[in-house]
A = this chain, B = another copy of it.
Amino acid sequence: MADKKTRTLSELGEFGLIRALTDDIILRHPGSRKGIGDDAAVLDHNGFLTLVTTDLLLEGIHFDLTYVPLKHLGYKSVVVNLSDIYAMNGTPLQVTVSIGVSSKLSLNAIEEFYKGIKLACNQYEIDLIGGDTSASVNGLIISVTALGTAQPQQIVYRKGAKKGDLICVTGDLGGAYMGLMLLEQENKLFRKDPAYKPQLDGYQYILERQLKPEARKDLGRMLLAGRVKPTSMIDVSDGLSSDLLHICEASGTGSRIFADRIPVHSETRKLAEQLRISPNVATLNGGEDYELLFTVAHEDFARIQLIEGISIIGMMTGREDGHLVEFEDKSTILMEAQGWNAKQKWEEL
């Protein structure tokens, strides 16, 4: 792979870099049941499964303190990690939170951040069990690790989807992305003219989706009550396209989704129209909705329809069928591999 060496990080992208760094990793302990490559690692301790997932959030890359309140940021930092545990059909139990803080932040500001952390811990019944605190030369750095558990018979991996399985998603998509678009637009106008008053009225929902997202704590319980076990699952963090492709790659399948079946909130649609963006851009490539994307066996069609708040948006196909998005007029496009998040992060640097 000599040519790999000379490629720049932005050409390689986040997923390419992870692959380049980790494809020779072997697991030596029988307790390390699943390592890199799913929403969380799975450790088997005499049958008790411990799930582990971690996220690094960096100022200037993942958030902009000019429009993200610190309390919300603390809340979100925890929630995005819990979402990864729910995506394994698990129950999060603990988090560690490490922060690097530049001297421009006051103790008050850091306490606000921790209020958000603690609020999320209360809301999701999580214990904050550790972390590390350091000064930082530039900007706020947040590293969160979540631990959880799952019943061995309930755990759901990315692999496991089969041709013919139904593709389902909770809630609605694209809201967090449009919330970010709104914040960035208003921030730009405000920077040009400090007398400008940001116009955020009527967009409460998408702003909250971006600033204070929630993880789908409820799905596991609903699936259990509805006697449905997903064949695969992932949370929508990078965007529907990217995340569905992760499932397909792990499961060795193709996929076909129907654009008009993707649930969209009215505010998402309204702002998209206003900004002359297709809502499909937001739903397919927008990320950070932290909804759960999963597949169920075709036999579970009737059962899954009985569960509220779930949309069936397509079906798994053979690997040879590729990854298609079908529109109302029956035209199709190939689904693209990269979420806006990874793309933005690497290309803007």
Residues on A facing B (Cβ under 8 Å): 4-5, 7-10, 12, 14, 17-18, 20-22, 24-25, 27-29, 31-32, 34-36, 40-41, 43, 45-46, 48, 50, 52-56, 58-62, 93-94, 96, 98-103, 105-108, 110-111, 114, 118, 125, 127-139, 141, 143, 145, 147, 149, 345-346, 348-349
Cross-chain contact A138 with B135 (CB below 8 angstroms): no
Pairs A-B, 6 closest by C-beta atoms: A143-B143, A138-B138, A41-B129, A60-B137, A32-B127, A56-B98
When distances are taken between beta carbons in the complex, the residues of chain B under 8 Å from A22 are 128
Question: Considering the chains assembled together, what is the distance between the CA atoms of A31 and B92 in angstroms?
Answer: 12
Q: A36-B129, A129-B36, A143-B54 are in contact. Are A134 and B14 (CB under 8 A)?
A: yes
When distances are taken between beta carbons in the complex, the residues of chain B under 8 Å from A99 are 56
Cross-chain contact B94 with A131 (CB below 8 angstroms): no
Chain B residue, CB-CB nearest to A4: B107
When distances are taken between beta carbons in the complex, the residues of chain B under 8 Å from A110 are 9, 17, 21
Cross-chain contact B129 with A32 (CB below 8 angstroms): yes
Cross-chain contact A5 with B107 (CB below 8 angstroms): yes
When distances are taken between beta carbons in the complex, the residues of chain B under 8 Å from A52 are 94, 96, 129-130, 145, 147
Nearest CB in chain B: distance from A31 CB, A: 6
Query: 15 extra interchain contacts, Cβ-Cβ under 8 A, other than A54-B143, A58-B137, A138-B138?
Result: A9-B101, A14-B135, A28-B125, A29-B127, A31-B93, A35-B127, A36-B131, A43-B94, A45-B50, A52-B145, A54-B130, A56-B143, A96-B145, A100-B141, A141-B141
Nearest CB in chain B: distance from A82 CB, A: 14
When distances are taken between beta carbons in the complex, the residues of chain B under 8 Å from A20 are 107, 111
